[in-house]
Amino acid sequence: MRLSAYCLFILGFPVWFGLAAAWGASGPQCIGYLALLHKLCRQIRLEVRVAGKSAGRYSRQHALRGQNAGVVSIQQGLKLRSYSTHVLASAFQPARTDFAIGHAVHFVNPLEHDGFFEPGGWGSHAVSESLPLLVFLPGMDGSIVTPFWQYPQLGTQFELACMVHTAGMNSRAPFEQLVEEVVQYMSSASRAGRRVLLVGESFGGTLALAVAQRLDAESSGAPAPLLGLALINAATCYASSALSVVGPVCASLRGPFYCASLLLLAALVLEPRTQLPGMLSLLTSRCLPSLLATPEREAYLVRVALSAFLGLKEPGLQIGQLFRVAVFSRSDLEFRLSQWLET
C-alpha cells in the first residue's frame, strides 16, 4: 500500500503539537521542526501524490524590503507539484568524509546576508565596526535559525557574527578544533578594537564556556576580550539528561525506525509549552511578535518563511540558504553526541 507523505505529515501535525503541549518550544523552533517533520515523511519510501485540483493554487502579495533587494512587490503563484521521492541517502548512509582539516567554521551576519535595512537599525549605522560584536554559537544541529526573529532587534545594538559549520552536517571537526577556531576569531576581533559579547545556545553554550576559559587562560593577566558571556539553555548537564540515554539509541536505529526516532529526539531537546500559544497565533496570522512589529521586520519574517520554510528560491530570498533546516543522518547524530556533547 502506498501512503502519501503529505497525508502522513498532516497526521503527524497534531501529534507534534501534542508533544509541544507537553514539553514546550519557541515559535521558530516549532516551525523549523515542522519542516523537519515534513522532510522525514519524505525520507521514507513514500509517494507524494498532491496534484491538480487536490493541490489547488494560492497566491499572495509579498513586499520584500532590503538593503540590496530594494522595495519589491512580487506576485507569488504557488502550486504543489506531483512527484515521487526516493529515500534520501542522508538518513541511511554510513559515516562520511572527515572534514576536520582546515577551517571547520566561519561566521556570518544573517541581516547582512538578507540585505536587511531599517531606519535606526541594522544598515543605518555610519560605521558598523563601531558596534559591539555579538558572536552567536548555535546548538548541536548548527542551525542559526532558532533566534531569527531576535536578529533585527539585536542589530540595533550589535553587529552579528553567527557561527556556521563550513561543511554543514558533514562536519567531523573535533570539539577542540571548534574551540580553537572560535578563540582565533574572537582574538582577532579584539585586536582590531572590537568589544565582543559571546552567546551560546544549547551545545553552543558548552562551547562558549570552553572558549571563555581558553581566552581567560591566554590573556596572561590582561583583560580577556569579552564584553560578556550569555548562556541559553546550555547543554552542560548532558551526561545526566535523558538525551544522553535516548540519543545513542536513536543513532543505532536504521531506516524508517531512525526517522521516527528523530521525532522523539526533537521532543527531548525542544521546549513545546510556554511559547506555543504565541506560535499558534503567528501561524494563524492573528498577531505578530512585538520584536517584528514594524514593516521592515514583518517583510523580513515573510522572506524567512518563504525561503527557509517553504523553500522558494527567488531574487531577494537569499536568507533561505542560511536558515534552511537540515536533517541528522545516523552518523551525524552519533558523531555529535559522542564527540561534542560527551566531551
- Give the pLDDT score at 30: 52
Which cell numbers in the block locate residue 47?
A: 509517494
DSSP result, 49-110: ---HHHH-EEEEEEEEEETTTEEEEEEEEEEPPPEE-PPPGGGT--------SS--EEEE-H
Q: How confident is the model at residue 69 (pLDDT cuts 50, 70, 90)?
A: very low
pLDDT digits 0-9 by tens, 311-337: 888 888 989 989 987 888 999 999 999
> Rounded CA gap, 181 and 170, in Å?
17
Q: How confident is the model at residue 8 (pLDDT cuts 50, 70, 90)?
A: very low
Model pTM score: 0.71
Q: Are 177 and 125 in contact (CB under 8 A)?
A: no
- Give the pLDDT score at 34: 54
Q: Are 14 and 56 in contact (CB under 8 A)?
A: no
pLDDT digits 0-9 by tens, 275-298: 566 666 666 666 777 888 899 999
216 lies in which domain range? 102-236
Question: Which CATH number does the domain housing residue 201 bear?
Answer: 3.40.50.1820
Q: Is 232 inside a domain boundary?
A: yes
Q: Is 59 inside a domain boundary?
A: no
Q: Is 56 inside a domain boundary?
A: no
Q: Scan for cell 505578530, then name that residue.
A: 288
Q: Is 34 inside a domain boundary?
A: no
Q: What is the mean pLDDT of residues 250-258?
A: 93
Q: Is 172 inside a domain boundary?
A: yes
- Give the pLDDT score at 23: 45
Q: Is 191 inside a domain boundary?
A: yes
How many CB atoms sit inside 10 A of residue 73's CB?
Answer: 8
From the number of C-beta atoms within 10 Å of its C-beta (0-12, 13-18, 19+), residue 56 rates as: exposed
Q: Is 227 inside a domain boundary?
A: yes
Q: What is the mean pLDDT of residues 149-176?
A: 95
Q: Is 269 inside a domain boundary?
A: no
Q: Are 105 and 164 in contact (CB under 8 A)?
A: yes
Count of domains for the chain:
1
